Amino acid sequence: MIKDIESLRFGYETDLFRIITAQLGNTPLLAHTRAKNLLDIRRTDLLGEAVRITADLLPEIHETYQSCLDILGHGFSGELFVRQSMEYNASVFAHEKKFDVLVHSALLNDFTPDELAFVFGHELGHVLFEHSRFCVFDILSNPEGVSRDTADILFRWSRASEVSADRVGLLCCGKLSTAVTALFKTASGLAGIDMDQMLRSFRRQYEDLEKQLREASDDLSWVRTHPMIPIRFKALELAALDIVALRQQSGGFSGKGFRAIDQQIAGILEAIDINAVCTRIQ
Ligand SMILES: [Zn+2]
């Protein structure tokens, strides 16, 4: 178990969380019993429609998953399932410390065990930071709904939550290069690209995206719960040294420096948020 994982939570996420709880109260919008029921329903679906990954079925992948669980520490329990899909995707549904992770088969076919550790870690990061506390889609699908302003902040928080989850992904896989490859494969569907080329590609695209977002005067016609991949890359690149130091428990993790990194990434997400405020949330 790694100590101080909580310090990896993206500061912008913490700020938005405070605003949400001030607007909605400190209780989860999903009632306790309903959240527990949803977990049970999802588990029934997984047992019925997906395949549980055990040490017997896929020993290497199971071991990778277990090593990620070890980082979370005691009390967390959840199984890993796979279902057929060509899409690179994974999800988790959690209720308190119980959860189930679902990965699409394309990930298991095309990603290395280390890259999968990034994916598993990302999903476990959502559990650790209790991101299911406010289920954005559930809240927005409620006909009684919440105000436009609150919905907007929920989207912002959801995007910021992905940065926090990626940090746990990197903590689990242990290397920036592995996380970068996993992100690059997810975005492009391409494998076998040289690391220097991937880094140059992400860095240039991040610079252009940042410029584009800061200069764009039009309303963006979308609102996304995930930050765009070059931003996720940049957030990881800036934080990588600290995250690896935390993993090694070498004392090289600097909380103060880490918050400065948060400010930089928050700046670019705020640029998206300012543009997105004017869009219509459907
Ligand atoms: Zn996520």
pLDDT of residue 209: 87
Cα 120 from Cα 64, distance rounded (Å): 9
Say whether pLDDT at 35 is over 60: yes
The CB-side HSE value for 70 (13 A sphere, CA atoms) comes to 10
Question: How far, in Å, CA of 273 to CA of 271, rounded?
Answer: 5
What is the 252 CA–ligand 1 centroid distance (Å)? 27
Other C-beta atoms lying within 10 Å of the C-beta of residue 258 = 20
* Alpha carbon of 134 to ligand 1 centroid (Å): 14
Cβ < 5 A residues, ion ligand 1: 162, 165
Residue 26 alpha carbon to ligand 1 centre in Å: 23
Mean pLDDT of the chain: 86
- Rounded to 5 degrees, what are φ and ψ at 219? -70, 140
C-alpha angle 115-118-123 in degrees, rounded to nearest 5 = 135
Ligand 1 centroid–CA 200 distance in Å is: 24
Say yes or no to pLDDT of 266 above 50: yes
Q: What is the pLDDT of residue 28?
A: 56
Residue with tokens 């926090």: 164
Query: Using one digit for the tens of pLDDT, what is the confidence trace for 41-61?
Result: 999 999 999 999 999 999 999
Out of 90-94, 144-148, 217-221, 249-253, which region has the weakest mean confidence (pLDDT)?
A: 217-221
| Contact yes or no for 268/143 (Cβ under 8 A) | no
Distance of CA 225 to the CA centre of its chain: 10
Residue 122 Cα to ligand 1 midpoint, Å, equals 6
H-run or E-run covering 257: helix 255-276
Residue with tokens 């705020």: 270
Q: Is the pLDDT of residue 263 over 60?
A: yes
Does residue 104 sit in helix, strand or coil?
strand
pLDDT classification of 271: cutoffs 50, 70, 90: confident
Sheet holding 77-83, edge to edge: 51-52, 77-83, 98-104, 90-95
Considering only 122-136, 210-224, 268-282, which range has the smallest mean pLDDT? 268-282
List phi, psi (to 5°) of 79. -105, 165
Pairing of strands 77-83, 98-104: parallel
Q: Is 117 helix (H, G, I), strand (E, B) or coil?
A: helix
CA–centroid distance, residue 163 to ligand 1 (Å) = 8
> Which residue would you say has higher pLDDT here, 42 or 30?
42
Residue 255 has pLDDT above 80, yes or no: no
pLDDT for the residue 29: 55
Residue 221 is predicted with a pLDDT of 40
Cα 136 to middle of ligand 1, angstroms: 13
Question: How many angstroms is it from 259 CA to the middle of ligand 1?
Answer: 21
Q: Give residue 239 CA to ligand 1 midpoint distance, Å.
A: 17
Q: How far is the CA of 89 from the centre of ligand 1 (A)?
A: 9
Give distance in angstroms: CA of 90 to centre of ligand 1.
Answer: 8
CA separation (Å) from 44 to 31, 52, 123, 128, 275?
Answer: 20, 12, 20, 23, 41
DSSP state string for 216-244: --SPPS---SS--HHHHHHHHHHHHHHHH
Q: Do 11 and 262 form a contact (C-beta atoms < 8 A)?
A: yes
pLDDT at position 213 is: 77
User: How close is the Cα of 162 to the center of ligand 1, in Å?
Assistant: 5
CA of 230 to the centre of ligand 1 (A): 15
- CA 158 to centroid of ligand 1, rounded, Å: 9
